[in-house]
Structure 1
Amino acid sequence: MTINNSRRIALLGFGSFAVGTAALAADPSRAGTLIISPGARELPELMRRLGRAPRRRDFKTVPMILQNPEFWDDEALKEVIAYRGTRKQVWDATKLEGPWLNLMRNSINAQIFSFRHEDFLAVSATHGTAHLALLDQAMWDKYEIATLAGTKFKTNTLAMPKPAPADFAHVENPKSVFGPDGATIPALQERGVVFLACHNAIWELTAKLIASGKNPDHASHEAVAAELTNHLLDGVVLTPGIVATIPELQQAGFHYAA
């Protein structure tokens, strides 16, 4: 079989979608550029809106059940739910050691490069042990989170970007951001993936930490949960609870994947 690569090379040889649009779209606290298909229209707009949406990370205490939107990233979450792209998928991510990041990478690759849905949006509905990956290394160190993460994770390697080519000229390079090395949270964020955090997961993690004596400040449950919330990775969108947020996304047309 003869494959004509001329059109494919023309479509993919744009380089990274950088400067102007990417600079506006990126979250101000995140460095780097977005790696989004030049033909995308709705996804860059969503990234711009999320970049402008506030993330409150100055909590002193938080309650067990969030009853007021000021305790979660309400504006950013509403932007995700209202996304106008026709192809959108929510991943029910529960296991830190599971293949969730790699599956999202594969889904994005096929949707964009195979089916040509350049505005495809993947959302990680993160809870369970997978939620540990959404906390920065400072929290992993202070609360010895590695003891809950299993033998594979002595540090939060899923939050560390790996050196890799990051432009569309390298789309077939397995060592690029499009290959397995691109299955990290920062790399996927650069490709437009949105990671949702779960307040309930934070609250339950706090209970485990306190019960196991990993509470160096001898702080209250409400205060430890607040500190963990304040140390979510840049760009993450906090929800009042993932299990309750998933049907909100499904009602808005997101396809469920686990």
Structure 2
Amino acid sequence: MAGTSSATIAAEANPEPVSAKNLRGLMSALQANVGRRDFREVPMILTDPSDWDDKALKLLFAYAGQPKEIFDNTDLFGPWLNLMRNTMNAMVYAWKQPDFLATSATHGPAAMALYDQHVWDKYNLPGFIARKLDKKIDRNTFIEEKSVAKASADDVQNETGPFSAVGNNIPALQRRGVVFLACHNAIWELSEALMKSGHNPDKLSHGQLAADLTNHLVEGAVLTPGILATVAVMQRNGFHYVI
């Protein structure tokens, strides 16, 4: 898959303070509990926990660190990555909350950022985006990381380091502990839209196309059965909802 793998993210130094023990523990546990990505077909409504990353979500629900926020991200071309980075910077370094957990409820057009380059090429997402959103983009730049991954936590004022706008990409934020949640409903709806617009080169059924998209979520993304329903469960478990 394109982009930086979760194994690579875990192996390289997390730039956050070493005092973020709860966050570091969660990242290690999530790496071992993000489920399989070899579906052949998926249903419209998921009913079996084996069809989503149930173990990973339960780890998030039970996270003991504080504070915990879930950002509602739908605008692919909006400032969503920048807002999460800025929030994390302020929470960790101004408010001294190293175990702060930021999660992204990624759905709507923003969900396309969570597919690897294979999906972008196979289903011509640049062409689809140009027609549906009237925007030009030739590849998934949201998963392209700049050479800032191994910067030290002591280098927080570096204007070209991971704490700056250079870190506004999914792998860099994952390395810092941001968790990106993928929405099955968004996958199903994109599959339907791709079929209707002729972006279905293998002539797959709806369930097969949705499975193919699911199998090509970027490494580290946590699959939910539906993001807004999951948000409600997360709020019940102490997460603050950020629009």
TM-score range, shorter chain: over 0.9
| Aligned match for 2:88, one of 94, 108, 116 | 108
The answer on 1:70 being equivalent to 2:50 is yes
CA distance in 2, matches of 1:28, 1:178: 21
Tell me the SS of whatever aligns to 2:64: coil
Aligned length: 233
| Deviates most, 139-148 or 187-196 | 139-148
Mapped to 2, the partners of 1:200 and 1:185 lie a distance apart of: 21
Name the amino acid aligned to 1:160. E
Which residue in the other structure is 1:121 paired with?
101
Q: Match for 1:221 among 203, 206, 220?
A: 206
1:49 deviation in Å?
Answer: 1.1
d(CA) in 2 for partners of 1:212 and 1:196? Answer: 26
1:134 paired with 2:114, answer: yes
What is the aligned partner in structure 2 of residue 170 from structure 1?
A: 155
Q: Give the structure, 1 or 2, with the largest relative contact order (CA under 8 Å, sep 6 or more).
A: 2
1:1-258 to 2 correspondence within 5 Å? 27-28=6-7, 30=9, 32-150=12-130, 151-164=135-148, 166-258=151-243
Whether the aligned pair in 2 keeps the contact of 1:140 and 1:146 (CA below 8 Å) is: yes
1:212 partner letter? S
Q: Structure 1 unaligned runs (5+)?
A: 1-25
Matches of 1:179 and 1:148 in 2, distance apart? 31
1:78 Cα deviation from its structure 2 partner: 0.8
How well do the aligned residues superpose, as a CA RMSD in angstroms? 1.4
> How many angstroms apart in 2 are the aligned matches of 1:195 and 1:223?
23
- Identify the residue that residue 12 of structure 1 maps to in structure 2: none
Shift of 1:77: 0.8
Counterpart of 2:230 in 1: which secondary structure? helix
- State the SS of the aligned residue for 1:153: coil
Please tell me whether the aligned partners of residues 89 and 256 of structure 1 are also in contact (alpha carbons under 8 angstroms): yes
Distance 2:57 2:137 in 1: 29
Q: Which amino acid aligns with 2:13?
A: T
**Aligned counterparts of 2:12 and 2:155: Cα–Cα separation in 1:** 17
Is the Cα–Cα contact under 8 Å of residues 29 and 234 in structure 1 kept in the other structure?
A: no
* Segment of structure 1 superposing worse, 53-62 or 150-159: 150-159
**Offset, 1:87:** 0.5
The offset of 1:163, in angstroms, is: 1.7
| Displacement of 1:203 | 0.3
Write the distance in 2 (CA, Å) between the matches of 1:92 and 1:132: 15
Cα deviation for residue 152 of structure 1 reads 4.0
The residue number in structure 2 matching 1:22 is none
Contact 1:35 1:192 in 2 (8 A): no
Q: Does the 8 Å CA contact 2:179/2:222 hold for their aligned counterparts?
A: yes
**Percent identity between the aligned chains?**
50
TM-score when normalising by structure 1: 0.87
Name the stretch that deviates more: 43-52 or 115-124: 43-52
SS at structure 1 position matched to 2:7: coil
Query: Counterpart amino acid of 2:189?
Result: E
User: Match of 1:171, as an amino acid?
Assistant: V
Alignment check: 8 A CA contact 2:129 2:136 kept = yes
Amino acid at match of 2:167: G
Deviation at 1:126, TM superposition (A): 0.4
The answer to whether the 8 A contact 2:34-2:222 is kept is: no
Long gaps (5+) in structure 2: none
Deviation (angstroms), 1:186: 0.2
